[in-house]
Amino acid sequence: VQNRLRWSSWSTKTAKMAHCPKSPYDHPKSLTCLSNTDMMGHFFADTLVKFYRLYKKK
């Protein structure tokens, strides 16, 4: 159950992140969209995006 809660909060953060002009993962000093506590969720989403881009290139 806890994992599901975490997943839904990550999904929410990912949705919010989509509206961010810059990625804090690429620009660590401009954490305007996410706080440090959100970095794990952001890293997870960023990894998904990278895999998606790789997949689309094929």
**What residue numbers bound the domain in which 35 lies?**
2-57
22 SS3 class = coil
Tally of domains in the chain: 1
Q: pTM (2 decimals)? A: 0.30
3-state helix, strand and coil shares in percent for the chain, rounded to the nearest 5: 65, 0, 35
pLDDT tens profile 22-42: 455 555 444 445 454 566 666
Token pair 């998606």 in the structure block, residue: 52
Percent of the chain with pLDDT over 90: 0
Confidence of residue 2 (pLDDT cuts 50, 70, 90): low
